[in-house]
Amino acid sequence: MSTQATDHRNPGDSPSIIVEDLTKKFGHGILANLVLDSVSFTVDQGTSVGLVGESGSGKSTIAKIVCGMYKSDSGRLTVAGTDIAPGQRFPAEVQKAVSFISQNPFSSFNPRLTIGQSLVEAISPLSTQPGRHRQTIVEWLERVGLPADSAGRYPHEFSGGQRQRLAIARGLIRRPSVVVADEITSALDMSVQVQILSLLAELRREYSFSMLFISHNLSVVRNVCDEVMVMQSGAIVERGASEQILTAPTHPYTQRLLASIPGSPGFSLVD
């Protein structure tokens, strides 16, 4: 069964994410490394946009800027209807509206906290006591396919796929309007990847959040994204509907990425 995401855009909806001429450097002076070079894109309300490219292309830097983990050097950034000036800290209402799901859920969970405590912390950062949130925690554990008693267990007691389910529950439990998912299936076996992508597509249909989905794999984003942007060396070189990009890419870099997928017509182990 296909898990292709439904397009939730409605006429008049304002974009959830607006990025215009965004730049970011790491380092200073002649040793500075330009990571993002005048990047521009939008993610419309309720849609899912995939951002693909090789390691080092700048994908994760964009993800962390959109989530407020990094600050941009210049350019325009609007998230959940709020303009963020370069160097500005995200206001509390934007922090609440945006959720980040990382590549490595094990390192992102505090090993000293139970899963229940970690989920409470996501709802109310100043508390780790389940209390009045207990029912919500149980509902979300079951929603991502895990038993209610998972709340009393610790992160190391779960497999990689289960931890990613827990990370999704933690990311969505406060019902954000914008979700940034950064390489969340790259460390998982293929069969587990399919399960996680199916779950994510189902949750997006149910809750209609906007999503920026970061990956290095074009075939992965096909399952959950309405559109795809292709990034090379800090710049977006191609954008289009997922089906279009996967069947008829126009940029040579996108064509090379597509040809690197095992089973594709152009796949070869030899350059």
137-187 residue pLDDT tens: 999 999 999 999 999 999 999 998 999 999 999 999 999 999 999 988 887
Q: Is the pLDDT of residue 269 over 60?
A: no
What's the average model confidence in pLDDT over 50-59? Answer: 91
Residues 6+ apart with CB under 8 A from 100: 63, 64, 67, 69, 171, 179, 180, 182
Dump pLDDT digits (tens) for 184-201.
888 788 888 889 989 998
pLDDT of 81: 92
Note the pLDDT tens digit of each residue in 2-43: 333 333 444 346 789 999 999 999 988 888 899 999 999 999
Angle at 73 between CA 70 and CA 74, to 5 degrees: 125
Global pTM? 0.86
Q: How far apart are CA 184 and CA 214, in angstroms?
A: 8
d(CA 59, CA 236): 10
Quote the percentage of the chain above a pLDDT of 90. Answer: 61
Q: Is the pLDDT of residue 264 over 80?
A: no
Q: Please, what is the average pLDDT of the chain?
A: 86
